[in-house]
């Protein structure tokens, strides 16, 4: 009964427009992401502070007997903000280096708009995300799931907690966009 009451009291998530999509305020998405990191995967959230010129939306660490894992992330409401988010991740990486994982977090969005972003400019943003070894997560606070759709963490423990482990979008996009590049070179 509690679940039904929660469903009735939550705001309407479906947004109609050119493309039907779900709407989750980024604050709720980031709140769920922090909960996911801490309660699900076992990371310890670090106090909010600047790393160089950027204050990430979350910063967490997990120690094992062999090493310490670190994940730093920035949330964006939509893909039209993603390039700014990627610039912040680049600034964070300039300070922390390759030892940390870097995540761009978005709410579930229209598949069409997501693919349009990754495919734009012959895959420029997708290939840069891959080159920098960043991850892109889609997080749904209502259904409490997190999908890693591009990239992968250094800490393989995450794969036990991601919805679908690691979604095949990454491989599919890479093959599609690599094909676009090869086709362009043939002409």
Q: What tens digit of pLDDT does each residue of 10-27 get?
A: 556 666 666 556 788 999
User: How many residues can be counted in the chain?
Assistant: 187
Each residue's pLDDT tens digit, 156-174: 899 888 886 555 566 667 7
CA 177, 178, 180, 183: dihedral to nearest 10 degrees?
-170
Mean pLDDT value of segment 61-86: 95
- Position 7 pLDDT exceeds 50: no
For residue 114, what pLDDT is reported?
A: 84
Alpha carbon distance 45, 37 (integer Å): 8
At 80-103, the pLDDT tens digits run 899 999 999 999 999 999 999 999
Q: How far apart are CA 4 and CA 21, in angstroms?
A: 22
Domain boundaries, the chain: 14-186
Assess whether pLDDT exceeds 60 at residue 184.
Answer: no
Task: Name the burial class of residue 72, with classes exposed (0-12), middle (13-18) and buried (19+) by CB atoms within 10 angstroms of its CB.
Answer: buried
Q: Looking only at Cα atoms, what is the longest distance across the chain?
A: 62
Q: Are strands 14-15 and 21-22 parallel, antiparallel or unpaired?
A: antiparallel
Considering the chain, what is the average pLDDT of its residues? 85
Which CATH number applies to 14-186: 3.40.630.10, 3.40.309.10, 3.20.20.370, 3.40.50.10670? Answer: 3.40.50.10670
């Amino acid at each position: 009964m509690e679940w039904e009451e929660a469903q009735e009291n939550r705001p309407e998530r479906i947004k109609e427009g050119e493309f039907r999509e779900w709407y989750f305020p980024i604050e709720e998405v980031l709140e769920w992401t922090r909960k996911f990191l801490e309660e699900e995967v076992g990371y310890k959230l670090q106090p909010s502070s600047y790393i160089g010129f950027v204050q990430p939306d979350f910063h967490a660490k997990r120690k094992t007997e062999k090493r310490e894992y670190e994940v730093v992330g920035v949330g964006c409401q939509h893909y039209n903000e993603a390039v700014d988010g990627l610039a912040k991740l680049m600034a964070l990486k300039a300070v922390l280096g390759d030892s940390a994982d870097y995540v761009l977090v978005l709410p579930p969005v229209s598949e069409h708009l997501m693919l349009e972003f990754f495919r734009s400019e012959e895959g420029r943003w997708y290939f840069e995300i891959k080159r920098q070894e960043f991850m892109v997560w889609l997080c749904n606070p209502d259904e409490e799931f997190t999908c890693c759709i591009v990239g992968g963490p250094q800490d393989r423990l995450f794969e036990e907690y991601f919805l679908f482990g690691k979604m095949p979008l990454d491989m599919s996009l890479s093959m599609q966009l690599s094909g676009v590049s090869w086709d362009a070179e043939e002409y």
